[in-house]
Amino acid sequence: MFVSAAYAQVLPNSRLAAPPSPPPGFLPPPLHPSGVTLETRELGDGVYALMSNRPFTDNAGFIVGSNEVLVIDSHFNGAMGRQIIEAVRRVSDLPIKYLLNTNAFGDHVFGNYVFSDDTIIVAHQSTINALKISSVQGMSQTMARTVGGDISVFDGVELRLPDVGFHGSWEIDLGGKVVQMYWFGKGMSPNDSVVFVPDVNVAWTANLIFGKGTIPWARSGDILAYQETLRNFSEALQPATIVPGHGEIVSGDLVRSYRQYLAEIRVLSEQAVAAGIMIDDFVATAHVDPNYEIEPSLQGLMTGFHRWNLKVAFNEVSR
């Protein structure tokens, strides 16, 4: 399905489904792009991750075939989008034929507008649908806490919509290099997509699976859907390496850890409801099980994610 590539003049994203309210003490992900540089890491022949020097700020990537180049996500604004283009140009002068948007959040799509009009932007149809009823102003306000209230980082951004929408999966051969894109269901957001390069067994997981030393964040408020999505992921792909949208590169074994974590918090929530524990008491002082080996620098952030997830799970089992 093809959707106009026009630069969108659309409504604020107040019409999008709002996430659940955060628990007390929740810390928004720190995503401010000021001073961020993207390090190019070669993961295989023609396969490159672009890793932020300041996790939890966004990562990206690009794939070089014999005919053309494909980029994964366009980052936070025009400056970061141009940084991605410059990274590609240090490796290849082939045309950037495709740009994949893995979800509908501004930190993944706000750099779209600096790519050539000849670049075809691809996304899951739900991402396109969300962006069509959004605006830079609305999305910037939604993301303000992730940049410490400094919405000047969005100055000059134009919301460019994807050109091609897919439903289950999408695939392209760049010339000796096949790239696949999948939507397995709702996760951190309703739109999370996964990009997979079969010949090197590497997956870009965007917000569905974060990096080393993390747990999931059920921002959209649906633990059961997240579990089903990860089950679908595991049945289709077994990547050796994951390039997350946020955080450090990690082994594909993290998928199993995420699935175990979500199953465990469902059980904990069922036990709390059965014991008559109030939701505020259940959530307020909870901490992540040490067995999940949270990165020290992410302890505060992951504690907030954990309490958010417990709140969602508690509400699910209380229905």
- Residue extents of the structural domains in the chain: 13-211+218-251
The per-residue pLDDT string of the chain (319 residues; one tens digit each, 9 = 90 and over) reads 333 333 333 333 434 456 778 898 899 999 999 999 999 999 999 999 999 999 899 999 999 999 999 999 999 999 999 999 999 999 999 999 999 999 999 999 999 999 999 999 999 999 999 999 999 999 999 999 999 999 999 999 999 999 999 999 999 999 999 999 999 999 999 999 999 999 999 999 999 999 999 999 999 999 999 999 999 999 999 999 999 999 999 999 999 999 999 999 999 999 999 999 999 999 998 999 999 999 999 999 999 999 999 999 999 999 8
- Which residues, other chains included, contact 137 with Cβ-Cβ below 8 Å and sequence gap of 6+? 12
User: Sign of the C-alpha dihedral, residues 87, 88, 90, 91?
Assistant: positive
**What CATH code is assigned to 13-211+218-251?**
3.60.15.10
Contact 108, 74 (CB under 8 A): yes
Q: What is the pTM assigned to this prediction?
A: 0.94
Cβ count near 116 (within 10 Å): 11
